[in-house]
Structure 1
Amino acid sequence: MSRPATPIDGMRAGLALWRMAVDAQAVVGLRVMGMAGLWAVAPGETTRMVTEKAPAFAEAQWAAWAAAMRGERPDEVMSAWVAPISRTAGANARRLWKRGPTRG
């Protein structure tokens, strides 16, 4: 069993959740701008935005379940759940930002 949670642990888990949400919102915004022709996106981006979600959420669910079964604290379970989704959203945001706005 892990040590008792501190307020900092809860803040750290909340910050991870917040960062995931910011990255996910950036990805949504960039993809919508890409569909409108305002941002350069790869040709398969529309398909990718649908197909990547199930594996990321399945990995997140498995990580959270495993953490809970190990008896980890609630903040650790949430952090385990957020990590795979945050990794995917962050990678998408970085990749999409590199493409940049369309020219002309």
Structure 2
Amino acid sequence: MNNSFNFLAAPSAQIALMSQMTRIAIESQFVIGMRVLGMMGMMNQSPGEPFRMVAEKQAAATESLFAMTRAASRGASAERVMSAALRPYGKRTRANSRRLTGSR
């Protein structure tokens, strides 16, 4: 039997992936809320924020596709491929959350 493909992931890999997805979901909802408040004029927002919103999604999608392809071509498990695909989005949601709250 060929063991080059691991179809059953370790529970720790599944938990790590769920943790990554949960963090991204929470941070992205926070960022959306902060941006809506800025668009409503309830908080200060840089003039380029709406453009940035769109441009960063395009860059994250491209980076995500390359990361996912790279991981899959190296024979990574499904969890590692998903984690690689989510990493660019997580990096951006974390940065946006820090930038919009002014915390570093």
Q: Does TM, scored on the shorter chain, surpass 0.5?
A: yes
**Tell me, what secondary structure is at the counterpart of 1:48?**
helix
Match of 1:102 in 2: none
Amino acid in structure 2 at the alignment position of 1:33: L
Q: Deviations over 1:24-66 (max 9, x none)?
A: 1111110000001112211111111111110111101110111
Match of 2:61 in 1: 57
- 2:72 equivalent to 1:68: yes
User: How far apart, CA to CA, are the structure 2 residues paired with 1:2 and 1:96?
Assistant: 42
User: How far apart, CA to CA, are the structure 2 residues paired with 1:2 and 1:26?
Assistant: 38
User: How far apart, CA to CA, are the structure 2 residues paired with 1:79 and 1:37?
Assistant: 36
TM-score scaled by length of structure 1: 0.87
TM-score scaled by length of structure 2: 0.87
Q: CA RMSD in A?
A: 1.7
Match of 2:93 in 1: 89
Match 1:11 to one of 3, 8, 15: 15
**Structure 2 unmatched ranges of 5 or more:** none
User: How far apart, CA to CA, are the structure 2 residues paired with 1:18 and 1:75?
Assistant: 15
User: How far apart, CA to CA, are the structure 2 residues paired with 1:83 and 1:44?
Assistant: 24
| Structure 1 stretches of 4+ moved >4 Å | 1-4
Aligned length: 99
In the TM superposition, residue 16 of structure 1 has moved relative to its aligned partner by 0.4
